[in-house]
Structure 1
Amino acid sequence: MSNILNLYTDLNYLPSGKNVTIMLYPFFDSPKEDINDPDYGRFENYINNSSKIFKLVNNENDADIVVLPFEFSFEESDIKIAQKFVNNYKKSNKPILVFYNSDYDYNIPLDNVIILRTSFYKSTKSKNEFALPGWSKDFYNSRFNETTKKPVNPSISYCGYIDYLRPSLKDILNNYKDKLTSKTYNIYEIGPKLRGKAIRNLIKSKGVKTNFIFRNGFWAAGLDKKMAREEYIQNMYSSDYALVVRGAGNFSYRLYEVLSCGKIPVFIDTDCVLPYDHIIDWKKYVVWINQKDNISQRLIEFHNDISDKDFYQLKQNCRKLYEEWISPFGFFSKLNNYLDFEKNN
């Protein structure tokens, strides 16, 4: 397989009113963007440089990959169209790529395909499922110069929504009730609870400097979007480490945003699948926290054990990882690693 992958798709299978999937943006009309959207232009670098890695061909027989033209969804009509697409093109014996960017971890009812998705679980993933990053705009800003000397105490940032900082009587009663009834939370409760637990632990620690901004809801409800995003980015740059916990889906946009800033993620593992984790040793790039760990204790231990030189280098490596493997262009440029792995396993 050459360095440039030949792609084939069929727009006859693009549902009315749907956009093409991100991978195909360079070859067709990508969605119109609102210039006031904080993520405006996030795929520009990929679109402008896609010819270095992909070529669109007119015949599936000339393709290295066949791509479902739209992002899969569980709308009944979309499922039927996707199944027809797969049934029609599986005879080409080419890998068929399907994208699913969603908080939900449902099984996708398509056979003989390679699925790239955001939310699923390592313990239950199928061998044809691989991790897709959640992409925001690249946060990197060269104005923020990194110090080469490691501070005495670790500093950690967080900006967002949690369940509560100090429990009210209602919170205490609800937690007690949940334990008695073994309540299963809906997906929109999981992230705030996990983040809240971590935040409360970190705030109590005298050995950790915390830089936290709390929002009243998801996406900083009630605030100007651009202002909220700027505060979010400034907060991330205020510390060497950043708290990363899953959201509604079992993945985190924040993980990739932190890497783009060249900061060190303090990553709470919730049985996540991470991009290219059969190649990338993610524990070399993040402070890996198991859910039962004392997060402040683990962070302090990590910070004390790392040398000044390695501390500075790790932040450089985090940025490099984002550029080469996680950014839209970086991710797609490494796609053959998924194809080869799926083929050989």
Structure 2
Amino acid sequence: MIKIYTDTTFITPANRKIVFPLLFELCYLKNVNLLEKYKLVDSISESDIAVLPVDINFLIKNKQQSYLNDFISVAKAQNKIIWAYSAGDFGKTVQDDIYLFRLGGFNSKMNDKTNILPSFIHDPYGKFIQKEFVILEKESIPSIGFVGNANGSLKSLLKEFGIYLYVIGLNIKNNFYSDYQSFYPSGYKRYQLLKKIKADSRVKSDFIFRKKHSSASLDTSEIKKTTIEFYENMYENPYVFCLRGLGNFSVRLYETLAMGRIPVVVDTDIRLPFHKSIDWKRHCVFVTEVNFVDQLLRFHDKISNQDFIEMQENNRKLFLNVLSRENYFVEWCKKNQNK
């Protein structure tokens, strides 16, 4: 059992959405499985791992940098492993000698102790679509699906730039609580890349373009309808196009894995969960923005029927066994106990 110390004064109803994800399971949900593997202790000296209780971005925004520094200093003085959580689209880089958990960032700029959290989503089977997971057989022509925000208009491009400037302004105003990222118009980029796929007769495309994210709608019934369409599209197509959003990560990638389908990932210098132990090339097709259709076709031509089937099965298993919030930290428990 791994002994965890944290500052429990932060474990309040108001902080449910900003606590370190493991603490959400241990303190709010009282997850029995994880409580058998992690034990909360009352002092740093008793602990194996000292966990900063809340999102470090929150601490910086709220002028609690000194608290952040003091927590780290005390834990380091006692030679404790330190875990910290950085939420949000951009995330925040901190010193090298702590384990940082974040949603995204740039692989080439992150150190070895920076760990990517999956997007913790619900299992779509049963919740969003009333079907069971089935394998799609390999066909001669690859079929790729996509449902989502993709808009090639100048107005959309300018809107994305406006949102970007707003986020950058908040960052400056709030003590640089997150890393700087250059402008990346993901909605505009998606449209341009998907248009190239649609025009290529060597690929079967099944796309539904939306001019805004479904969450932007105020109509609950419409959100439900579009969510079902989103997952039905994945259900019908073995490949799913995945490109980053405002931050350098893709929630759609995890949704694709949950459906047991194959993500076609435009690699924008991303890092994925357990990047040292999971061979992500066995789960995704990684492509670049240049010649990406040719890269998909080469992959599809080379993969055997059996491997095509097993890839879908393994992606579904990866979601169920590793990428849920509970099993993600079960996996971390195994890794710490093996050290």
TM-score of the pair, normalised by structure 2: 0.81
Q: Where does 1:100-179 land on structure 2 (aligned, <5 Å)?
A: 100-108=86-94, 110=95, 112-141=97-126, 143-147=131-135, 149-164=137-152
**Quick one: which of 58, 70, 85 aligns to 1:99?**
85
Higher mean C-alpha deviation, range 111-120 or range 306-315: 111-120
Aligned to 1:23: 22
Kindly tell me: are residues 228 and 92 of structure 1, through their superposed partners in 2, closer, same or farther at Cα, counting changes over 3 Å?
A: farther
Question: How far, CA to CA, are the matches of 1:290 and 1:319 in structure 2?
Answer: 25
Higher mean C-alpha deviation, range 218-227 or range 258-267: 218-227
Higher mean C-alpha deviation, range 91-100 or range 15-24: 15-24
SS where residue 97 of structure 1 aligns? strand
Aligned to 1:289: 287
Deviation at 1:300, TM superposition (A): 2.1
Aligned to 1:64: 48
Question: How far, CA to CA, are the matches of 2:36 and 2:301 in structure 1?
Answer: 43
Alignment check: 8 A CA contact 2:135 2:312 kept: no
**Quick one: which of 261, 264, 271 aligns to 1:263?**
261
Aligned to 2:164: none
Alignment check: 8 A CA contact 1:7 1:57 kept: yes
**Quick one: which of 52, 56, 63 aligns to 1:77?**
63
Aligned-residue CA RMSD (Å): 3.0
- AA in 2 matched with 1:212: F
Alignment check: 8 A CA contact 2:187 2:245 kept: yes
Deviation at 1:336, TM superposition (A): 4.7
Deviation at 1:188, TM superposition (A): 6.9
**Quick one: which of 178, 187, 190 aligns to 2:185?**
190
Deviation at 1:214, TM superposition (A): 1.5
Aligned to 1:231: 229
Q: Does 1:202 align with 2:197?
A: yes
Deviation at 1:48, TM superposition (A): 4.8
Alignment check: 8 A CA contact 2:242 2:250 kept: yes
- AA in 1 matched with 2:305: D
SS where residue 31 of structure 2 aligns? helix
- AA in 1 matched with 2:107: K
Question: How far, CA to CA, are the matches of 2:181 and 2:101 in structure 1?
Answer: 24
Aligned to 1:180: none
| CA deviation string 1:148-182 (max 9, x = no partner) | 63222211111111132xx67x8999xxxxxxxxx
Question: How far, CA to CA, are the matches of 2:275 and 2:208 in structure 1?
Answer: 31
Deviation at 1:132, TM superposition (A): 1.4
SS where residue 266 of structure 1 aligns? strand
Higher helix share: 2
Question: How far, CA to CA, are the matches of 1:280 and 1:240 in structure 2?
Answer: 21
Q: Does 1:47 align with 2:31?
A: yes
Deviation at 1:298, TM superposition (A): 1.9
Kindly tell me: are residues 189 and 218 of structure 1, through their superposed partners in 2, closer, same or farther at Cα, counting changes over 3 Å?
A: farther
SS where residue 28 of structure 2 aligns? coil
Question: How far, CA to CA, are the matches of 2:157 and 2:13 in structure 1?
Answer: 49
Question: How far, CA to CA, are the matches of 2:125 and 2:305 in structure 1?
Answer: 22
SS where residue 272 of structure 1 aligns? coil
Kindly tell me: are residues 189 and 269 of structure 1, through their superposed partners in 2, closer, same or farther at Cα, counting changes over 3 Å?
A: closer
| CA deviation string 1:115-158 (max 9, x = no partner) | 11112111111233121112221224582452463222211111
Alignment check: 8 A CA contact 1:148 1:308 kept: no
Question: How far, CA to CA, are the matches of 1:111 and 1:288 in structure 2?
Answer: 28
Alignment check: 8 A CA contact 1:13 1:85 kept: no
- AA in 2 matched with 1:209: K
Question: How far, CA to CA, are the matches of 1:322 and 1:123 in structure 2?
Answer: 25
Alignment check: 8 A CA contact 1:140 1:262 kept: no
Aligned to 1:179: none
Q: Where does 1:261-340 land on structure 2 (aligned, <5 Å)?
A: 261-292=259-290, 294-336=291-333
Aligned to 2:167: none
Higher mean C-alpha deviation, range 258-267 or range 110-119: 110-119
Q: Report the identity percentage.
A: 29
Aligned to 1:247: 245
Deviation at 1:277, TM superposition (A): 0.9
Alignment check: 8 A CA contact 2:285 2:296 kept: yes
Unaligned ranges ≥5, structure 2 = 159-179
Question: How far, CA to CA, are the matches of 1:247 and 1:285 in structure 2?
Answer: 20
Deviation at 1:261, TM superposition (A): 0.8
Unaligned ranges ≥5, structure 1 = 31-45, 174-184
TM-score of the pair, normalised by structure 1: 0.79
